[in-house]
Amino acid sequence: AQSVTQLGSHVSVSEGALVLLRCNYSSSVPPYLFWYVQYPNQGLQLLLKYTSAATLVKGINGFEAEFKKSETSFHLTKPSAHMSDAAEYFCAVSEGTGNQFYFGTGTSLTVIP
Amino acid sequence: GAVVSQHPSWVICKSGTSVKIECRSLDFQATTMFWYRQFPKQSLMLMATSNEGSKATYEQGVEKDKFLINHASLTLSTLTVTSAHPEDSSFYICSAITGKGNEQYFGPGTRLTVT
DSSP annotation string for A16-57: TS-EEE--EEE-SS--EEEEEEE-TT--EEEEEEESSS-SEE
Q: Which of A44, A49, A105 to mutate to test the interface with B (most CBs of B within 10 A)?
A: A44
| CA–CA gap between residue A6 and residue A9 (Å, rounded) | 7
Question: Which ranges of chain A have pLDDT less than 50?
Answer: none
Say which DSSP state A113 is in. -
Say which DSSP state A85 is in. G
| CA–CA gap between residue B73 and residue A63 (Å, rounded) | 36
Say which DSSP state A111 is in. E
pLDDT at residue B102, as a whole number = 61
* pLDDT tens digits, B8-45: 999 999 999 999 999 999 988 888 899 999 988 788 88
Instruction: Give every CB contact of residue B100 below 8 A, 6+ residues apart in sequence.
Output: none
CB A4 within 8 A of CB B70: no
pLDDT at residue A107, as a whole number = 95
State the count of interchain CB pairs (< 8 A) between A and B: 53
What mean pLDDT do residues B79-103 have? 88
Say which DSSP state A84 is in. G
- The CA distance from B86 to the nearest CA of chain A, in Å, is 19
pLDDT at residue A48, as a whole number = 93
The SS3 of residue A61 is helix
Most confident listed range (A89-93, B49-53, B70-74)? A89-93
| CA–CA gap between residue A82 and residue A59 (Å, rounded) | 15
Mean pLDDT for chain B overall: 90
Q: Which of B5, B43, B62, B95 to mutate to test the interface with A (most CBs of A within 10 A)?
A: B43
Cα A71 to its chain centre, rounded Å, is 15
Instruction: Give every CB contact of residue A53 below 8 A, 6+ residues apart in sequence.
Output: none
